[in-house]
Amino acid sequence: MPEFKLPDVGEGLTEAEIVVWRVAVGDTVAVNDIVVEIETAKSIVELPSPYAGEVTALLVPEGEMVEVGTPIITIGEAVEKVVDPVAPTVPDRPTVPAAPATPIDTNVPPEGNPTLVGYGPKQRDLKRRPRSGGGAPPASAEPAAPTAPAAPAAPAAPVASAEPVASGAVRVLAKPPVRKLAKDLGIDLASLTPTGPGGTVRRADVEQAGTAPAAPTAEAGSGGGVGDGAGETREPIKGVRKQMAAAMVSSAFTAPHVTEWVTVDATATVDLVARLRSRREFAEVKVSPLLVAARATLLALRRSPLINSTWDEQAQEVVIKHRVNLGIAADTPRGLVVPNIKDAQALDLLGLAGALDELTATARAGRTQPAELSGGSMTITNVGVFGVDAGTPIINPGESAILCLGAIKPRPWVVGDQVLPRQVMTLALSFDHRHIDGATGSRFLADVAGVIEDPGTALLY
């Protein structure tokens, strides 16, 4: 029976979390039907089925981390049958063996019928196979209270379904993701009042208990679990957060960072943004100071190409890239991600605006794919949206510089011999001082600031 093993959907993926199963045991699927959503160290990815047939087992429950190459689901014709010991046994009719399912490499899309997410056919409506009266109950069925010794049954395949959980003398019904959440929060399922069908503990029951104030009966030093009177909540380090932590530590302690600041009068940029918003060409896209700063960055890279480079420690070479894959740091519900706009240097202002819109919308929806997160050459992070003036950003691994945009605020500014209210912002640039010296970094930052202060200077590039 074919087993679908967790593939490497990114560059060097080693593990992923099973977020949600899109099928259940008994469903019939076709090649390219989406069967599961996983969270890698970078993003949420939908996995299509490489086989056609009946889902016979879900081998990994939701919420569990698995390594690449681990079987996660079996698909094929069911071979086990549970025979009713009372009913007379009728010999099975001879059947013609089904042709073995042909596996499809989910890492490399085949020509004409690629299977990676976004390329294959749309998800079909899944049809559940009818089951005979003597068969095992569906995976989602709740177990009845035992009243008499049961006849031996075929062992059930591990599935992400509701199962009884022992807690002392009490039998609690809860699905695996709910049990895992309760374990992470240190909550005893038996202490909860179930609100789900048939007395099942739902996720909301656990979450409500996790946010409720702890009872004043717990004593300090009692060795209790997480969340019981300790005034703290623990969250597992995994997925995007785990990747971000590893990347930032690697970058901070590998590349010697230098950060420079410049404060500029951005009034002309604010005025330009207002004019662009009124033009019909930009009616369908978002226009903001980030767009002007991104364009200024691309123009400044023409005069300082060393900023768009990477340090190759193994080859002992500095690799100057001729393409600009401009990364934009995005705050998402699952953590910080840095998708990048491929070949941003080839886009005009309108094309860049559309690319920024698409990038941010995809990131906020949690649907950024690994390919969009790899191959970046320089990054912009915009802390100004939070009202922050500036910062000392850490370089994204594999790159050599990151530009931080601060908030634009009205401040007194000297213009000629007068002090006038102007729209002022601070830019901060961190760069790898192994191969980018202060003069190169300063020249690049000054060029970006010059375009923001006077967008007309872009005609000089």
Q: Give the CATH number for residue 111.
A: 2.40.50.100
* Residue range 230-247, pLDDT digits in tens: 688 888 877 777 777 888
Average pLDDT for the chain? 78
Q: CATH number of the domain that 195 lies in?
A: 4.10.320.10
pLDDT at position 211: 59
Q: Which residues are designated catalytic? A: 433
Residue 218 lies in a domain: no
Whether 133 maps to a domain, the answer reads yes
| 317 and 351 within one domain | yes
Position 369 pLDDT exceeds 60: yes
Q: Tell me, yes or no, whether 149 lies in a domain.
A: no
The percentage of the chain sitting over the pLDDT mark of 90, rounded to a whole number, equals 45
Could you list the beta-strand ranges (E) of 169-244.
170-174, 200-201
pLDDT for 216: 41
Minimum mean pLDDT range among 75-89, 164-178, 396-410: 75-89
pLDDT of residue 127: 47
Q: Are 367 and 43 in contact (CB under 8 A)?
A: yes
Q: Quote the pTM value.
A: 0.59
Max avg pLDDT among 24-38, 63-77, 81-95, 425-439? 425-439
Share of the chain above pLDDT 70, in %: 73
Say yes or no: 395 and 306 in one domain.
Answer: yes
Is residue 441 a part of any domain in this protein? Answer: yes
| Assigned domain for 154 exists | no
For position 210, what pLDDT does the model report?
66
276 & 349 share domain: yes
Q: What is the mean pLDDT of residues 256-278?
A: 96
Comparing 448 with 174, the larger pLDDT belongs to 448
CB 135 within 8 A of CB 25: no
Could you tell me the residue range of the domain that residue 187 belongs to?
163-211
Residues 169, 125 within the same domain: no
- d(C-alpha 146, C-alpha 162), whole Å: 16
Could you tell me if 447 and 314 lie in one domain? yes
Which of 114, 112, 2, 124 lies closest to 54 in space, CA to CA? 2
| Residue 17 domain flag | yes
What is the mean pLDDT of the segment spanning 83-99? 43
pLDDT at 384: 95
Residue 295 falls within a domain, yes or no?
yes
Contacts of 231 (CB under 8 A, 6+ apart): 214
* pLDDT above 80: residue 78: no
What is the number of structural domains in the chain? 3
